[in-house]
A and B are shown apart, each in its own frame.
Chain A
Amino acid sequence: MTRRRFLEAGVAASAGLAACRTPRAPASRAQRPAVAIVRASSYRVDLLDCLWRGAAACGLEARGKRVLLKPNLVECERGGVIHTQAEVLAAAMELFERLGAAEVRIGEGPGHRRDAFFLAEEAGYRAAIPGFEGRFTDLNRGDVVRVSPFPGGEIYLARTAAAADLVVSVARMKTHHWAGATLSLKNLFGVIPGAIYGWPKNRLHQIGIAQAVAALYRTFPRAFAIVDGIVGMEGNGPVQGRPRACGALVMGSDLAAVDATACRVMGIDPMKIEYLRLAGHGRCLPEAGTEQRGESIGSVRTPFALIPEFQHLRLA
């Protein structure tokens, strides 16, 4: 068995009532997870074809599954690179529909501003995705489920995310002024409901960003990552950095492995990113521990500028 369900059945049985879920033993992920790198020179290329090739390279299965696409909308600036690009999200929507998913929804719980629908509008999602309003859930303001244990005792998650058969983290490749890099794993902070934890979700910082990210990785073993590095963000990310064109998408079912590969593409040593060390237990972080498919890391490597505090993260 390559994956094991953490989450007890019946999580979503009772609308409006929080069910308590107790994670079982750590999920056994693939020993050598596949990560695909696909070139995409701009957002005007056939992104569906790019994602299709990446999904095929990773052996992604989505038939009959309830899929939640989780973009990054921590903040948004029209034309900027803070948020997940609308074209990538729209192509991901089409990818999972073509793969036969039973349902494809989009959900996000923005971390700094409360108006999720407004941010989605600003990001161009409503214009790019037909029927967006009916597909989108504000994960900050809905039903929740309780998960225990979690660092600090317990945590509530958005029920929409907990009930999905597959959570797809559609993140932009960015540097992060606290964590070093924010990719598919850090993007999972958006499944924590602001209605309980606020804006920002400071509880996760109190727990420790690395500990919280690693715990979310364990909580969502049924996940997939699409990291958009077509144009990423370098420098003072995740909000105030500069655009950095990299021309690549990084994809895979093991989020830690995908993020480790994305770090290498960015010229960052993943072993120096604390949440990746904690999440991977050293398992999939060494380059040899990942089965690289598609393009090689070296062929798309684009060193991202790092703030002075994070120069030590630079890949040797």
Chain B
Amino acid sequence: MRSPDRMRQAGSLDWHWMAQCAESGLALLRAAQNPDGGWGYFPGNASWLEPTAYALLALSEEAEARRGIDRGMRLLDRWVLSAGGWQASEAVKGAHWASSLVVTLHTALGRHDESTARAVDWLLETSGAETRTVSRIAHWLSPRTVEFDASLSGWPWQPGTSAWIEPTAHVLMALRHLARGGHPGARERVAAGQAMLLERRCRDGGWNYGNRRVLGVDLPSHPETTALALMALDGHPEIRWGEMLDRVERLYRETRSPWARAWLGACLLQYRGVRPESRPAGNDLLVTAVEAIRWDRIMGAA
């Protein structure tokens, strides 16, 4: 297997070789690990927290990837923050939204240490800016601008900003085991977060990034965020699951977006235990990783 250094030689990537690797997502991920132990969004790019967390989740059940996982975890240990969470990359400090993915990774690996506990505390303390008093007054004065229930608390991409569907979904997936285990803070926040997702559902029945209705106009949903929201709702009784999963299957067949297809496939794997036949993801390591993760086991792990 070629190393990332070799891949970077001559300033270009070996596309032919990568195309072969893409046939096996796990092989591509193993080969694309950076010397620092992390993964970039694309092979040969600098490591970031998000692709590193996804790649490690994908490799977490691979016995032959043990050394790679250890190297990746060492990088995450260097990026852990004393105030909770993990930084975005070597250069970008400050707790990053993908910290929720690392909590999910820790659960998958059966690792529960001080960094996990601090990250969970940080996640429980973080909420969208729209729940602040000033924002709620502004929303009360102009409710039609963006229609949503400001009392329902989700999670933002960045502290100090509003809550959106994708970061909320990731935190809900990260906290679900704690909530099921009776952790009082987690149980309360998971319930509120799921209520927020349900309230932000688009009129067409799916989800977009998080605005369902703006200035009196309904906005359409997007397939990838629809899949993520369904995964985070975790069998919630307000969803007609048979109907929705049939819709997810249909979206999977119809969408041309590899990113959307990866999440729709993940959703089907979680709920129906089957992964639709995937197509080569090219050199996008995020898509490759999301397609390779055993979401049925990740979401079932305790």
Interface positions of A (Cβ within 8 A of B): 15-18, 112-115, 117-118, 121-122, 138, 141-144, 146, 156, 177, 195-200, 202-203, 205-206, 236, 239-240, 307, 309
Contacts and interface: CB of A to CB of B under 8 A. Distances in A.
B90 A17 contact: yes
A236 B211 CA distance: 15
A203 B45 contact: no
- Chain A interface mostly helix, strand, loop or mixed? loop
Contacts of A138: 41
A236 B88 contact: no
B230 to A, nearest CB: 17
B259 interface: yes
30 contacts: A16-B90, A112-B209, A112-B222, A113-B222, A113-B224, A114-B224, A114-B259, A115-B224, A115-B258, A118-B256, A118-B257, A118-B258, A118-B259, A138-B41, A141-B41, A142-B45, A177-B214, A195-B88, A196-B96, A197-B158, A198-B97, A198-B156, A198-B166, A198-B167, A199-B209, A200-B164, A203-B158, A236-B215, A240-B219, A307-B215
Given A16-B90, A114-B224, A307-B215, A198 B258 contact: no
Contact of B91 (A144, A200, A206): A144
A309 to B, nearest CB: 7
Contacts of A197: 157-158
A7 to B, nearest CB: 17
Contacts of B215: 177, 236, 307, 309
Nearest to A137: B42
B289 to A, nearest CB: 13
A206 B259 contact: no
A117 B256 CA distance: 11
A1 B280 CA distance: 52
Given A112-B209, A115-B257, A198-B158, 14 more contacts: A113-B209, A113-B257, A114-B259, A118-B257, A118-B259, A143-B45, A144-B92, A195-B48, A196-B158, A197-B158, A198-B161, A205-B162, A206-B160, A206-B161
Given A112-B208, A112-B209, A114-B224, A196 B161 contact: no
A294 B272 CA distance: 62
Contacts of B248: none
Contacts of B91: 16-18, 144, 146
B208 to A, nearest CB: 7
A146 B46 CA distance: 16
Contact of B41 (A113, A142, A196): A142
A156 B92 contact: yes
A233 to B, nearest CB: 14
B50 interface: yes
Nearest to B47: A16
A-B pairs with the 7 shortest C-beta distances?
Answer: A198-B157, A16-B46, A18-B91, A115-B259, A141-B41, A118-B257, A202-B161
Contacts of B217: 236, 240
Interface string B199-230: 00000000011000011010100101000000
Nearest to B34: A16
Contacts of A15: 46
A199 B92 contact: no
Nearest to B144: A309
Interface in B51-66: none
Given A118-B258, A307-B215, A195 B158 contact: no
Given A115-B224, A199-B166, A199-B209, A18 B92 contact: yes
Contacts of A177: 214-215
B209 A122 contact: no
Contacts of B158: 196-198, 202-203
Contacts of B167: 198
B186 interface: no
Nearest to A193: B92
Nearest to A199: B209
A11 to B, nearest CB: 13
Contacts of A122: 256
A206 B158 CA distance: 11
A96 B293 CA distance: 43
B164 A199 contact: yes
A240 B162 CA distance: 22
A220 B97 CA distance: 28
Contacts of A16: 45-46, 90-91
Contacts of A112: 208-209, 222
